[in-house]
């Protein structure tokens, strides 16, 4: 016993020496390199290691000793079998044949004690700590601990059973007291808070009380359990557990308070709308209405939204601040958070108060600009609807012109407002404005070009929405046009977006502009041999045109013979249609009918053309169109049948 006390006194002195060395290391950099590591087993510090053995650092030595002590504890070896054995310049502490640690002269010099005595003290410390841990894991100790924990668990279950029986009945009583005990809060016969709202408030309060009691019981049960289990008795769990449970309680209270406030604000918002014309009336001076009841309701609803927002901010701030104060490592954050939020808020409020005159000026400018834009919109709307007409100003120009004028009015208003903006006169603000302007100028060259192209296209009127057009190599219907782009949908339902600058720089073919009034001319070319009479070819082409849907009968189709080639004649068929959006289908139907009519008429189409030497080979007309008695003549060369039968030998 005396040895143990003596050893503990030396550990305290060693600790003081450690802290003295640590403090002096601030002054002496050479000493700061020393490592002083405790040897710990189950939260009990046995001794300290401050020197190396060969390549092993104090940290490595301490870790190795701790692992060996844990192995002894796990294998249930007797602590009394630990002994000390002297070697040359080293004292070894062993259990059986296994060395737990070696004590050197450097260790003794570090602790200021004889090496043999230091080894004995280390040996006694190991024995005492191991025996203490073995006693904690004894069957009797574990049975007592588990019995206490089971009793505490039973008490906790009884408590939760009682609360489950008691609180729901109390909630029902509060619901029944809604109109008998709880009365609504009224102002001039106007209900501000209903009886149901008061009842709901007390029910939420009871739920919070129930939650608090439940968390307190749970806290004591967990703390009791940790303190009676040998594996966790050394843990200082109470501060952390208390902080966590209080955090849950505070979170529930904050959530309930926010829910109650939001419910109150939402109810008040709905009632404000109902109060229009009754509790809330227009403000008039004689017969002149200064402020309508609708505007008053909008203002009240705006204040309700502002109140709801600031309530949320305030409760969230208080919640976070209090949450930080629950834990040691975040306690200092609460005061810092208060400074971070309050200082900027006070600065913002003072700046806002000083800025109010300029704000009123900006509000007046915006008010005037808004009604000027409304008047301009009304004027151009009348032009668009045809109520007001101008000889050289088409109605379709009204909407884009209104957008341009509106943009100019807004830009002018922004220029007027700019000097009244906070900080507009400071060099920093002006420098940033110039920098942004330069960036915008450099980065928006193509965008400005597209806008200019969009304006020019608007007043050129080369197409409108729904027209079938060809822009560069793209053919399709116009589905959208604005100041930046023109969007075309092809016959394959592919949307192609073309910048207006590219549209302006390309040739534009509009198939729809004259289709309704004059008809769009579709044309196709066939090549027919010289042996076919041209009048018959014309007749067959016209018959094919008449057989095709969506081709106009008036004006009549017409045919041009555009070329006399070496082997065939070019015939160009021209037809009229008023449906340019389906021109691909019309072309397809027309080509099908041309094939049918020419095959029926016995005329070969020489496209794609081919060369042949023949005097009577099989014609290229499909077999279905040939007469049943048709037989291909024999091949003749200069009138001689080269492959004839015996009857034709004389020939």
Give bridge partners of residue 102 from the DSSP assignment. 92
DSSP track, 539-590 = HHHHHHHHTSTT--SSSPPEEEEEEE-SSEEEEEEEEEES-GGGHHHHHHHH
Q: Are residues 148 and 115 in the same domain?
A: no
Per-residue model confidence (pLDDT) at position 608: 55
**Nearest alpha carbon to residue 545 among 512, 579, 576:** 576
For residue 624, tell me if it sits in a domain: no
Q: Are residues 578 and 499 in the same domain?
A: no
> Does residue 22 carry a pLDDT above 70?
no
> Does residue 24 carry a pLDDT above 60?
no
Q: Which is more confidently placed, 252 or 440?
A: 252
Percent of residues, the chain, with pLDDT higher than 70 = 78
Distance CA(527)–CA(515), nearest Å, equals 28
Region 100-106 average pLDDT? 88
Q: Could you tell me how many helices (H) and strands (E) the chain has, helices first?
A: 15, 19
588's tokens = 């397809």
> Does residue 540 carry a pLDDT above 90?
yes
Q: Are 17 and 26 in contact (CB under 8 A)?
A: no
> Does residue 442 carry a pLDDT above 70?
no
For residue 626, tell me if it sits in a domain: no
> Does residue 142 carry a pLDDT above 80?
no
> In a 10 Å sphere around its CB, with 0-12 CB exposed, 13-18 middle and 19+ buried, how is residue 376 labelled?
middle
Those residues with Cβ within 8 angstroms of residue 43's Cβ, 6 or more apart along the chain or in another chain: 234, 235
Q: Are 604 and 597 in contact (CB under 8 A)?
A: no
Per-residue model confidence (pLDDT) at position 10: 40
Distance CA(571)–CA(549), nearest Å, equals 21
CB-facing half-sphere around the CA of 359: CA atoms within 13 A: 6
| pLDDT confidence bin for 535, thresholds 50/70/90 | very high
Lowest pLDDT segment from 270-284, 460-474, 514-528, 633-647: 633-647
Per-residue model confidence (pLDDT) at position 132: 78
403's tokens = 């957008």
**Strands 520-529 and 558-564: what pairing?**
unpaired
Per-residue model confidence (pLDDT) at position 141: 72
**Nearest alpha carbon to residue 614 among 572, 643, 577, 585:** 643
Region 273-288 average pLDDT? 71
Per-residue model confidence (pLDDT) at position 7: 37
For residue 586, tell me if it sits in a domain: yes
Q: Are residues 235 and 124 in the same domain?
A: no
348's tokens = 């913002």
- To which residue do tokens 């949307």 refer? 495
Q: Are 546 and 600 in contact (CB under 8 A)?
A: no
> Does residue 15 carry a pLDDT above 50?
no
For residue 206, tell me if it sits in a domain: yes
Other Cβ atoms less than 10 A from the Cβ of 359: the count is: 12
Per-residue model confidence (pLDDT) at position 371: 92
> Does residue 287 carry a pLDDT above 80?
no
SS (H, E, C) 447-464: HHHHHHHHHHHHHHCCCC
For residue 437, tell me if it sits in a domain: no
Lowest pLDDT segment from 6-10, 61-65, 207-211, 323-327: 6-10
Lowest pLDDT segment from 1-5, 123-127, 453-457: 1-5
Question: What's the domain range around 21?
Answer: 2-137
| pLDDT confidence bin for 429, thresholds 50/70/90 | low
> Does residue 25 carry a pLDDT above 70?
no
Q: What are phi and psi of 90, to 5 degrees?
A: -140, 140
Q: Are residues 318 and 266 in the same domain?
A: yes
What is the C-alpha R_g of the chain? 50
Q: Are residues 108 and 179 in the same domain?
A: no
Single out the residue in 109, 137, 165 at which a domain terminates: 137
Those residues with Cβ within 8 angstroms of residue 199's Cβ, 6 or more apart along the chain or in another chain: 174, 175, 177, 178, 182
Region 34-42 average pLDDT? 78
Lowest pLDDT segment from 139-153, 179-193, 258-272, 274-288: 179-193
> Does residue 543 carry a pLDDT above 90?
yes
| 642: preceding bond cis by omega (within 30 degrees) | no
Residue 102 CA, distance from chain mean position? 62
Per-residue model confidence (pLDDT) at position 650: 42
Distance CA(375)–CA(57), nearest Å, equals 87
Q: Are residues 107 and 187 in the same domain?
A: no
**Nearest alpha carbon to residue 174 among 201, 199, 209, 208:** 199
Per-residue model confidence (pLDDT) at position 203: 78
Model confidence over 585-637: pLDDT tens digits? 999 999 999 999 999 988 888 765 556 555 556 676 777 777 878 777 766 66
> Does residue 162 carry a pLDDT above 50?
yes
CA-angle at 309, arms to 306 and 313, nearest 5°: 135
Q: Are residues 125 and 157 in the same domain?
A: no
Region 33-54 average pLDDT? 80
Q: Are residues 291 and 232 in the same domain?
A: yes
For residue 444, tell me if it sits in a domain: no
Average pLDDT, the chain: 79
Distance CA(187)–CA(280), nearest Å, equals 13
> Does residue 545 carry a pLDDT above 90?
yes
> Does residue 3 carry a pLDDT above 50?
no
For residue 267, tell me if it sits in a domain: yes
> Does residue 18 carry a pLDDT above 60?
no
Distance CA(439)–CA(445), nearest Å, equals 10
Most confident of 198-202, 204-208, 604-608: 204-208
Distance CA(305)–CA(296), nearest Å, equals 14
Per-residue model confidence (pLDDT) at position 636: 64
Report the domain count for the chain. 4
**Nearest alpha carbon to residue 243 among 325, 308, 129:** 325
Q: Are residues 243 and 223 in the same domain?
A: yes
Region 479-489 average pLDDT? 88
Single out the residue in 338, 356, 377 at which a domain terminates: 338
Per-residue model confidence (pLDDT) at position 109: 87
**146 dihedral zone (left: phi>0; alpha: psi -120 to 50; beta):** alpha
Helix (H) or strand (E) holding 359: helix 331-385
| pLDDT confidence bin for 488, thresholds 50/70/90 | very high
Q: Are residues 154 and 226 in the same domain?
A: yes
Most confident of 72-81, 120-129, 287-296, 392-401: 120-129
- To which residue do tokens 């009015």 refer? 409
Single out the residue in 338, 361, 386 at which a domain terminates: 338
Q: Are residues 467 and 506 in the same domain?
A: yes
Helix (H) or strand (E) holding 55: none
pTM for the full predicted model: 0.39
- CATH number of the domain at 589, please: 3.30.70.100
SS (H, E, C) 244-283: HHHHHHHHHHHHHHHHHHHHHHHHHHHHHHHCECCCECCE
Lowest pLDDT segment from 251-260, 268-277, 481-490, 519-528: 268-277
For residue 350, tell me if it sits in a domain: no
Distance CA(326)–CA(318), nearest Å, equals 13
Per-residue model confidence (pLDDT) at position 192: 61
Region 69-85 average pLDDT? 82
Q: Are residues 499 and 544 in the same domain?
A: no
Per-residue model confidence (pLDDT) at position 598: 92
Region 251-278 average pLDDT? 78
């Amino acid at each position: 016993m005396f040895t143990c006390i003596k050893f503990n006194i030396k550990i305290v002195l060693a600790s003081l020496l450690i802290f003295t060395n640590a403090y002096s290391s601030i002054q002496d950099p050479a000493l700061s390199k020393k490592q002083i590591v405790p040897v710990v087993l189950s939260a009990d510090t046995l001794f300290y290691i401050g020197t190396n053995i060969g390549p092993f650092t104090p940290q490595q030595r301490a870790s190795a000793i701790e692992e060996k002590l844990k192995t002894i504890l796990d294998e249930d070896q007797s602590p009394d079998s630990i002994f000390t054995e002297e070697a040359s310049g080293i004292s070894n502490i062993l259990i059986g044949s296994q060395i737990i640690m070696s004590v050197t002269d450097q260790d003794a010099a570090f602790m200021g004690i004889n090496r043999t005595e230091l080894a004995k003290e280390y040996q006694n410390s190991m024995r005492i700590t191991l025996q203490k841990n073995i006693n904690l894991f004894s069957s009797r100790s574990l049975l007592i601990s588990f019995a206490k924990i089971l009793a505490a668990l039973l008490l906790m279950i009884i408590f939760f059973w009682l609360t489950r029986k008691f609180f729901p009945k109390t909630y029902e009583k509060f619901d029944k007291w809604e109109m008998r005990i709880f009365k609504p809060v009224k102002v001039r016969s106007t209900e501000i808070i209903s009886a149901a709202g008061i009842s709901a408030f007390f029910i939420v309060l009871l739920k919070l009380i129930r939650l608090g009691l439940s968390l307190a019981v749970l806290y004591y049960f967990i703390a009791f359990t940790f303190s009676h289990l040998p594996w966790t008795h050394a843990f200082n769990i109470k501060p952390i557990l208390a902080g966590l449970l209080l955090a849950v309680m505070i979170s529930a209270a904050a959530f309930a308070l926010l829910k109650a406030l939001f419910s109150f604000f939402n109810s008040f918002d709905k009632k404000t709308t109902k109060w229009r014309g009754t509790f809330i009336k227009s403000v008039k001076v004689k017969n002149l209405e200064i402020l309508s009841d609708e505007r008053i309701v909008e203002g009240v609803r705006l204040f309700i939204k502002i109140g709801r927002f600031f309530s949320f901010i305030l409760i969230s701030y208080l919640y976070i601040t209090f949450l930080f104060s629950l834990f040691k490592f975040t306690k200092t954050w609460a005061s810092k958070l208060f400074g971070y939020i309050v200082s900027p808020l006070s600065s913002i409020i003072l700046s806002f108060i000083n800025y109010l005159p300029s704000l009123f000026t900006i509000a007046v400018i915006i008010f005037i600009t808004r009604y000027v834009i409304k008047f301009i919109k009304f004027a151009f709307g009348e032009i668009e609807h045809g109520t007001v007409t101008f000889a050289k100003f088409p109605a379709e120009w009204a909407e884009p012109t209104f957008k341009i004028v509106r943009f100019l009015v807004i830009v002018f208003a922004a220029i007027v407002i700019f000097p009244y903006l906070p900080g507009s006169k400071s060099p920093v603000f002006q420098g940033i404005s110039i920098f942004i302007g330069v960036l915008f100028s450099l980065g928006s060259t193509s965008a400005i070009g597209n806008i200019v192209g969009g304006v020019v296209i608007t007043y050129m009127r080369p197409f409108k929405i729904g027209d079938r057009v060809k822009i560069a190599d793209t053919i399709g219907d116009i589905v959208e046009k604005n100041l930046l782009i023109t969007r075309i949908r092809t016959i394959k339902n592919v949307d192609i977006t073309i910048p207006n600058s590219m549209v302006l720089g390309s040739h534009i073919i509009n198939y729809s502009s004259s289709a309704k009034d004059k008809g769009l001319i579709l044309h196709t070319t066939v090549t027919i041999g010289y042996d076919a009479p041209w009048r018959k070819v014309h007749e067959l082409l016209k018959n094919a045109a008449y057989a095709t849907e969506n081709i106009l009968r008036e004006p009549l189709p017409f045919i041009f013979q555009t070329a006399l080639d070496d082997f065939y004649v070019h015939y160009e068929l021209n037809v009229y249609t008023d449906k340019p959006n389906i021109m691909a289908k019309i072309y397809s139907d027309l080509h099908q009918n041309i094939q049918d009519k020419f095959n029926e008429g016995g005329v070969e189409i020489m496209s794609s053309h081919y060369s042949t030497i023949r005097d009577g080979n099989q014609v290229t007309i499909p077999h279905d169109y040939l007469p049943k008695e048709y037989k291909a003549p024999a091949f003749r060369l200069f009138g001689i049948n080269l492959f004839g039968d015996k009857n034709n030998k004389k020939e």
